[in-house]
Structure formats: structure tokens, C-alpha cells
Amino acid sequence: MAFESFQDFIAMGGHAPYVWTAWAVTLALLLVSGIHARAEHRRLLRGLQRRMRREQRLAGCPGGTTNHYQRGGNANDT
């Protein structure tokens, strides 16, 4: 241990503002980059899953999307 006490450690021999600012900014940027990379991947996977489910639902109901649009068209005609 290079310091006598915890207060000593925080004070950094009078260089506290410099040491802690540089460290805080660096670690914060690393943390944000890491969290962003993981969240980005999770978000994309979720989006793909949602799309798959939607397509399966549409494929599952008889007539699929076409039926829906046809009914809309008929309503306008009459």
C-alpha cells in the first residue's frame, strides 16, 4: 500500500482532482462502451425475434395479410 490512510488515498498527495478526473472519465467511457456493445446485440436479437413471431402469426391465420387488405378495399367500394 502506497498510502497511510484512506484519506491519504483520496487526497492523492494533493493531486486528487487530476488523478480522479482522468480515471473517472476513462473508466466511465469503458463502462459505457461495454454496456452499449452488449445492449446493442440484445436489442437486435429481440427485434429479430419479434419480427419472426409477427411473421409466424400472419402466416398462421387463414388468408394471412391479403384477406385484411381485401376487406379494407371492399369497405371503400361500397
CB 19 within 8 A of CB 12: yes
What part of residues 3-62 is at the interface with another protein (CB under 8 A)?
Answer: 3, 9, 12-15, 18-19, 21-23, 25-27, 29-30, 33-34, 37-38, 40-41, 44-45, 48-49, 51-53
Grid coordinates representing 58 are 400472419
Assess contact for 9 and 3: CB atoms under 8 A. yes
Do the beta carbons of residue 21 and residue 27 sit within 8 Å?
A: no
Binding site for another protein (CB under 8 A): 1-3, 9, 12-15, 18-19, 21-23, 25-27, 29-30, 33-34, 37-38, 40-41, 44-45, 48-49, 51-53
